[in-house]
Structure 1
Amino acid sequence: MNKPKVLYVEDEVFLAKIVSETLERRGFDVVMESDGGQAIQRFHESNPDVCVLDIMLPNKDGFDIADEIRELNSEVPIIFLSAKSAAEDVVNGFKLGANDYIRKPFSMEELIVRIEHVLKRIPITKEGDADEIKLGQYIYNNRRQTLTSDEEERKLSYRESELLRLLYQNKDSIVERRDILNLLWGSDSFFNSRNLDVYITKLRNYLKQDPSLQIITIKGVGYRFVVE
């Protein structure tokens, strides 16, 4: 059985050594990089199953690295591991498509559990995995994370794209809030639940030009995406 491959980008030499050796003892294949400017090259070379990124790095910070990774791959889990703990840093990390954000100092057990958690997170797959999907008067491109109409091409964030894809894959069926939160945010906490409300409102606004597309709220349960 292949070992899960972790791309770990960290410039603190002592910490990087401890984390890498511990992960390897626990059955992970670790690809280490200390230079933020080389991270994308290592991503191309290693094709990792999960990326663990520090934020404050030489030559390119973790936020920029995550943004580039999301342009290349909308699926690979990203975990930020950083001393930057201000609320705006955490929010920025999730806006860039991170699956998790762990504040330093941290325990190795916490990191391992969180890595295992994102690796077990398997999206619901029915239809809708093609690169381009026609949604009424829109074209949704899953790989490029775009929603295009005759008037404009809108670039979606990672979570906007994943939420739209999840709803489409299960169109005309009820998708429970709890399932969406656990799939896309990793937990159904109050904070994440409020974020989901914001994302639903955004998607409704993006699709409002076509009345045949509706995201219907099933109160206390979840949502149904109707494509007439």
Structure 2
Amino acid sequence: MQTRQQPAPAPALARPDGSPVRVLVVDDEPNLTELLNMALRYEGWEVRSAASGMQAVRTAKDFGPDAVVLDMMLPDFDGMEVLRRMRTEDPNVPVLFLTAKDAVEDRVAGLTAGGDDYVTKPFSLEEVVARLRALMRRTAITAVESDSLLVVGDLTLDEDSHEVSRGGTEIQLTATEFELLRYLMRNPRRVLSKAQILDRVWNYDFGGQANVVELYISYLRKKIDVGRAPMIHTMRGVGYVLKPAE
């Protein structure tokens, strides 16, 4: 009889000082909050919870979370307002939105407002943990030189001033080109599908018009890659990936 090999456990995440990572769970459903708390504590993480927007903002200021699980619908004000207030204290804290299954507008609005990812209810606890791990790893990778600066190879993007340069040469981008490049740079070496890019950079009204992604990728390549070693690569049938030039 063959024994089934167990998957290797995911590497433990920790803060720079070695202490457990901190996660804030914001939801007004007590049963769901308790399940999330148990799952996250099982990972060895320190967890606090809040059941309202106001409580979430106060707790975040006191707790200093490394990531936030944030329900879009709360009894006092919505998740986007919570996000806005928390980001005044910590502009870089990654936020994973919880949204209703059919609330397409919420997903679009949440990502446009600066949320990093979302899961739809009902969800698996394993998915939430995996998404949080990915967010925290990506945050550590991209926050290189300052709170607002993304750096991949010799390409830099300042999220505050909207300045972009490669190899010290300034590059002028339109607003949409900037948002597309920012999304690629927040996910270096990660293949992003056209659907993911549409969800993040445009709104869902584009539907199947994935050719808009191809069009703007071509615009970016003309400004970022022409005359240089390419950084934006097409993975046929899968999507696009940005990585340092070889």
Give TM-score, length-normalised by structure 2.
Answer: 0.61
Q: State the Cα distance separating 1:21 from its structure 2 match.
A: 1.2
For 2:116, the aligned partner's letter is: N
Structure 1: which 5+ residue stretches go unaligned? Answer: 133-139, 148-160, 205-214, 224-228
Maintained 8 Å contact 1:9/1:33 = yes
Instruction: Name the SS for the 2:142 alignment partner.
Output: coil
Counterpart-to-counterpart distance in 1, 2:147 and 2:28: 38
Task: Note if 1:183 corresponds to 2:202.
Answer: no
Matched pairs, number: 179
Query: Residue 79 of structure 1: CA displacement?
Result: 0.5
Which residue is 2:22 aligned to?
A: 5
Deviations 1:10-57 (A, max 9, x none): 110111111101110111111111122211111100010001101111
For the aligned residue pairs, the C-alpha RMSD in angstroms reads 3.7
Decide whether aligned partners of structure 1 residues 218 and 118 sit closer, same or farther in structure 2, where only a CA change above 3 A counts. Answer: same
Check whether the contact 1:125–1:169 (CA below 8 A) recurs between aligned residues: no
1:27 pairs with 2:60: no
Task: Mark the runs of 5 or more structure 2 residues left unpaired by the alignment.
Answer: 1-17, 150-156, 172-179, 203-211, 234-246
Distance in 1, matches of 2:71 and 2:29, equals 9
Matched residue, 1:207: none
Answering whether residue 111 of structure 2 is matched by residue 104 of structure 1, we say: no
Distance 1:52 1:141, change over 3 A: same
Which of the residues 42, 45, 54 maps onto 2:59? 42
Q: What is the aligned partner in structure 1 of residue 232 from structure 2?
A: 222
Q: Percent identity?
A: 28
Give the conservation status (yes or no) of the 8 Å contact 2:94–2:136: yes
CA distance 1:41–1:187, shift in 2 (3 Å) = farther
Query: Partner residue of 1:123?
Result: 142
Alpha-carbon spacing, 1:66–1:179, altered in 2? closer, same or farther (3 Å): closer
In the alignment, the residues of structure 1 paired with residue 197 and residue 23 of structure 2 have an alpha-carbon distance, to the nearest angstrom, of 29
Task: Answer yes or no: is the 8 Å Cα contact 2:57–2:85 preserved in 1.
Answer: yes
Show the 5 A alignment for 1:23-172: 23-83=40-100, 85-121=102-138, 122-123=141-142, 125-126=144-145, 129=146, 145=160, 147=161, 164=163, 167-168=164-165, 171-172=168-169
After TM superposition, the score normalised by the length of structure 1 is 0.65
